[in-house]
Structure 1
Amino acid sequence: MIELKGKKAVILGGRTGLLGQTLTETLRKNGVITIPLSRNDFDPLEEQSLTAFFEREEPDFIFNTIAYTMVDQAEDDKNKAHLLNTTLPVILGRIAKKHEAKLIHFSTDFIFDGKNDSPYTEKDKTNPKSVYGATKLAGEEKLLAIGYENILIIRTAWLFGPYKTNFVQKILKFARERDSLSIVHDQTGSPTYTPDLSEYTVELLKSDANGIFNIVNSGKASWCELATEAINCAGINCLVNPVPTSSYPTKAARPSYSVLDTSKFTETTGVNPRPWVQALRDYLYNDLNNDL
Structure 2
Amino acid sequence: MSGWLVTGAGGQVATHVVARLRELDANVTACSRAELDIADAASVRAVLDRVQPDVVVNTAAYTKVDAAENEADAAHRANATGPQVLAEELTGASTRLLHVSTDYVFDGTASAPYDVDDPTGPRTVYGRTKLAGEQAVRAQRPQGSCIVRTAWVCGGPGPNFIDTMLRLEGERERLTVVDDQIGSPTTAADLGAALVELGRAPGDLPGIVHYVNAGQASWCDLAREVFRLAGADPSRVEAIDSASYAFATPRPAWSVLTTRSWTAAGLSAPRPWQQAVADVVRAR
Give the TM-score of the pair, scaled to structure 2. 0.95
SS in 1 for 2:83: helix
Q: Which amino acid aligns with 2:239?
A: P
The yes-or-no answer on 1:29 pairing with 2:23 is yes
After TM superposition, give the deviation of residue 252 of structure 1 in Å.
1.8
| Aligned residue among 208, 213, 216 for 1:217 | 213
Partner of 2:273: 276
Structure 1 Cα separation of the partners of residues 195 and 50 of structure 2: 26
CA deviation digits over 1:267-289, x for unaligned, max 9? 2125221000011111111x21x
Structure 1 Cα separation of the partners of residues 183 and 104 of structure 2: 10
C-alpha change, 1:43 and 1:199, in structure 2 (3 Å) is closer
Partner of 1:56: 50
Structure 2 Cα separation of the partners of residues 224 and 217 of structure 1: 17
Return 270-279 or 96-105, whichever deviates more: 96-105
| Aligned residue among 6, 12, 16 for 1:11 | 6
After TM superposition, give the deviation of residue 182 of structure 1 in Å.
0.6
CA deviation digits over 1:76-100, x for unaligned, max 9? 1100000000000000011122433
> 1:1-292 to 2 correspondence within 5 Å?
6-14=1-9, 16-205=10-199, 206-208=201-203, 209-237=205-233, 239-285=236-282, 287-288=283-284
The gaps in structure 1 that reach 5 residues or longer are: 1-5
Return 94-103 or 153-162, whichever deviates more: 94-103
C-alpha change, 1:192 and 1:179, in structure 2 (3 Å) is same
Give the TM-score of the pair, scaled to structure 1. 0.92
After TM superposition, give the deviation of residue 171 of structure 1 in Å.
1.2
CA deviation digits over 1:19-50, x for unaligned, max 9? 10110111222332000111121333221122
1:204 and 1:269 in contact (8 A); partners too: no
Overall identity of the aligned pairs, in %:
37
After TM superposition, give the deviation of residue 147 of structure 1 in Å.
4.4
Q: Which amino acid aligns with 1:284?
A: V
Q: Quote the RMSD (CA, aligned, Å).
A: 1.4
CA deviation digits over 1:216-253, x for unaligned, max 9? 00000100100010011101246111111111132322
After TM superposition, give the deviation of residue 162 of structure 1 in Å.
4.1
Structure 2 Cα separation of the partners of residues 176 and 141 of structure 1: 44
SS in 2 for 1:55: helix
SS in 1 for 2:25: coil
Structure 1 Cα separation of the partners of residues 281 and 2 of structure 2: 33
Structure 2 Cα separation of the partners of residues 52 and 221 of structure 1: 43
